[in-house]
Structure 1
Amino acid sequence: MAAGLRELARPLRDPADLDPLLERVGDARVVAIGEASHGTHEYYAWRAALTRRLLEERGFGLVAVEGDWPDCYRVNRSVKLRHGADDDPRDALDAFARWPTWMWANDDVVDFCRWLRGVNAARPADRRVGFYGLDVYSLWDSMHELVGWLREHEPEHVAKATLALACFEPFGEDGAEYAFATRFAPTTCEQTVVELLRHLCEERGRRAPADDPEAHLSAEMNAAVVAGAERYYRAMVGGSAESWNVRDVHMADTLDRLLEHSGGKAVVWEHNTHVGDARATDMARSGMVNVGQLLRERHGADDVVLVGLGSHRGGVIAGSEWGAQMQRMEVPAARPGSLEALLHEEVGEDALLVWSPRGPRPAALDRRLDHRAIGVVYRPQRERWGNYVPTVLGERYDAFLYLEHSRPLQPLHLERADEHVPPAAHAV
């Protein structure tokens, strides 16, 4: 078993060492790249390095991340050099105001987005690579963005949008309060937002191509976020599996809309718990699906490559509880018997592991091993019994980047006093 892992592993020192993974990607349409935490420099740096090669050498045309649509669309406008957008993507990223801001407002993402803007500057406008958010949390931000866009471009829909906004206003832009209220109220805002989305989509189909089709896409995406967020907050009262599934289905649906809009290929940046196929973990027993599973089911395993990341020990940026101020925390050595401990013992250096879904492979890839997962909330003292997801590595991913030691990433700013904190349904 161990010799097989050593034989499979390839040293990982610079981006050229990613060649076997580029070969594995081949002509796949979607590459989803994970991370074992939202606060580790090396995960972001290696993910960016792989993405740069995919954009330059494999023709990928968009990056879709575990972030809110309105915030990421501002970054998208900057990296695409749109008129009136921020000249420096750092300014767009520094404006992120939903906890945990450090997920995207950090030096590693700034470096990547500045690089992407430079690449796009040398391309015609219709071939520029986009940067988009897939997540579902931005109900009120998306509602306000949508109303503003409709007032300028499609005033005939403003009344419906204003009606939807008015439905949520009594809850003070508090998703938890809305979720709590739906437990006792016989009606919700569901019908108003569904009607709004339906009218927007029908109108888009009837209209001739717009002067700015991506701006219209953004309006439609904001409407979809409102509909998805309403379902998500309502599902929170039904249990963690239900709300998790609403969120991940929304993210997969958003990616499909982006693929349809672009006609190209996508790189996805999310946590391992979203990227790695849920059927190869204990999530499946809890009735949970995730983005990686949905991508394989919808597009076929041959057209999707799932890449996991993990490390043996180091440091991370996280909060001690939901909504807490960020802090640098030590990540202790992986607990005995875990995937990371096995890789430390038998490989012992930064390494890339790529395997074929068919044919012989090391037995360790088919064993169920604990695989560390650090969310935006992290408590190192739980390492003995928590912070791990039982995983069959060879089924959960198509490749894995292992790191011996990791460091915390560098946030652009501390959390602000007026920062919005979404309801605590999931900590990843």
Structure 2
Amino acid sequence: MLNETPDEADIYGAALPLEYESDLDPLLARIGGARCVLLGAASHGTHEYYAWRAALTRRLIAEHGFSFVAVEWDWRDCRQIRRSVTGTPEAPQDPRRVLEARRRWPAWVWANEETARFCRWLREHNLAHNSELPPHRRVGFYGLDVYGLWESLHTVHAYLTEHHPDYLGIARNAYRCFDPYGENPQVYAWKSRLVPEGCEAEALELLTGLRRTAGSDAVAEELDVEKNAEAGAARYYRAMLEGGPQAWNLRDAHMADTLDRLLALHGPRARAVVWAHNTHVGDARATAMADSGMVSLGQLVRERHGRDRVAVVGFAGGHGNVIAASHWDGPMETMPVPAPMHGSLEELLMREVELDQALFVFADGPDQPWLTARRGHRAIGVVYDPDRDHRQFVPTTLADRYDALCWFSWTSPLSPLHPQPVRRGEAQTLPA
């Protein structure tokens, strides 16, 4: 390449092909003996992120003996899936059927073909290679969100619908505090409340009522993980009702606590794979999130376990399509993802990477300008507006946020297990 800039030369030389699962070998070498591997996603509705995250996880489990997968999902919603993939007696034999039963919004985030295929593989792996172990010692599938974020938000929504319908619009804006976002937190009404002042006690009672029953199908050790959430439940729900960065921080801190308890449950040699959005697995200190007083799961795991024992892999895409909703609790749609904003990480990679799919593995202490400069990095949540895509970019120092990056110039939507999503611009024909 002639007359190339430093960024162009660095990117051109660093881009590795990402077409076959064997192309993950350099990333597996970078992961090495890490105890925790955190795998991100730049959206909750992109096929490539889910498929390659699953491919890497299969290799970590089958070739490197990782102990469990922990995901950004409610603990209780994952219980039946965990029982299925570990072959618990009387549990459903097909985890896909369990995922199909998950219909609470945003169902597509986990009730999709990509997750179903991985869970079926995990069950086959457990029964073929770990059949001599009791079910609770096989490779598990856990939800990190023991407090039940989405169940809690639906409870608040139902309460407002019945008692304060005039407050629903304000509350829906406040729900964005719990969804990955790219805008400045101050712009996103961080001080919005989920319920009117004076109603906190009643709403708090409804939410804490969610914590009073534990599933009888959990083993004692798993119940201990859930019981550890009880003491902090009221504090978490109160922060959730009041809004603000504290609600985000309490949730990510709790997911980090749950991960530590799962590592303890699986023993001193346990190794974990975590699936969550980039805004959770990435180190918040390398982003504008830290400027607003926010922390992240990835930051906390690095601080607790040491950076050399943690590998964080981010994901990014140029343009294409994604599954999302136009508003909280709205119908899922297939939405276009436009070409990335000028000056962003994605725009740089679209321009400089010749491969349609590429892997970047970062060395410790890199000095390449494209890795050390702060650029916007796209983050799409369950709620998305393509016309405001320019607001979905989190200022990021790439090499400090992740240890590696998977890049896809064109992305396609997830395949939901439920009726096909509405394509933006077409009339809705699904039953209401």
Q: Is 1:102–2:102 an aligned residue pair? A: no
Alignment check: 8 A CA contact 1:42 1:406 kept:
yes
Query: In 1, are the aligned partners of 2:328 and 2:383 still within 8 Å (CA)?
Result: yes
1:105 deviation in Å?
A: 0.4
Question: Which deviates the most, 263-272 or 2-11?
Answer: 2-11
CA-atom RMSD, angstroms? 3.1
Contact 1:9–1:353 (Cα < 8 Å) also in 2: yes
TM-aligned CA distance change 1:332 to 1:217, over 3 Å: same
C-alpha separation between the residues in 2 aligned to 1:405 and 1:64?
A: 28
Distance across 1 between alignment mates of 2:151 and 2:288 = 34
CA, structure 1 residues 227+179, in 2 after alignment: closer, same or farther (shift >3 Å)?
A: farther
1:125 maps to a residue whose letter is L
- Within-5 A mapping of 1:134-145: 134-138=144-148
Find 2:409's aligned residue among 404, 407, 410: 404
**Is 1:257 aligned to residue 272 of structure 2?**
no
Task: List structure 1 runs of 4+ shifted beyond 2 angstroms.
Answer: 124-127, 136-142, 169-190, 217-233, 236-240
Kindly indicate whether residue 362 of structure 2 is the aligned counterpart of residue 355 of structure 1: yes
1:215 to 208, 213, 219: 219
- CA shift, 1:74, in A, is 0.8
Change over 3 Å in CA distance of 1:33–1:187 after alignment to 2: same
**Do structure 1's residue 180 and structure 2's residue 185 form an aligned pair?**
no
The number of equivalent residue pairs is 373
* Residue aligning to 2:24: 18
Whether 2:43 is the aligned partner of 1:27: answer: no
The more displaced of 401-410 and 236-245 is 236-245
2:138 to 114, 119, 128: 128
Post-superposition CA distance 1:311-349 (Å, at most 9, x none) = 001110000000001010111111111101101111132
For 2:49 and 2:280, how far apart are their aligned partners in 1? 15
| Aligned residue number for residue 155 of structure 2 | none
Alignment map for 1:280-359 (pairs within 5 Å): 280-349=286-355, 350-358=357-365
Q: Which position in structure 2 is the counterpart of 1:149?
A: none
Partner Cα separation in structure 2 for residue 135 and residue 54 of structure 1: 23
TM-score normalised by length of structure 1: 0.80
User: What residue number does 2:386 align with?
Assistant: 380
Question: Quick one: structure 1 residues 273 and 33, their matched pair in 2 at CA, closer, same or farther if it must change by over 3 Å?
Answer: same
Shift of 1:218: 3.1
Closer/same/farther in 2, CA of residues 50 and 324 from structure 1, 3 Å limit: same
User: How big is the shift at 1:236?
Assistant: 2.6
For residues 53-90 of structure 1, the C-alpha deviation after alignment (integer angstroms, 9 at most, x for no partner) is: 11112110100000111111110000000011111001
Contact 1:9/1:351 (<8 A) preserved: yes
Q: Give ranges in structure 1 of 5+ residues lacking alignment.
A: 143-168, 201-211, 417-428
SS of residue in 2 equivalent to 1:180: coil
**Which residue in 2 is equivalent to 1:230?**
234
| Cα drift, residue 193 of structure 1 | 7.1
Q: CA separation in 1, counterparts of 2:260 and 2:372?
A: 30
Q: Which moves more between the two structures, 20-29 or 91-100?
A: 91-100
Q: Cα distance, 1:357 vs. partner?
A: 1.6
Paired letter, 1:233: Y
Give identity over the alignment, percent.
Answer: 52
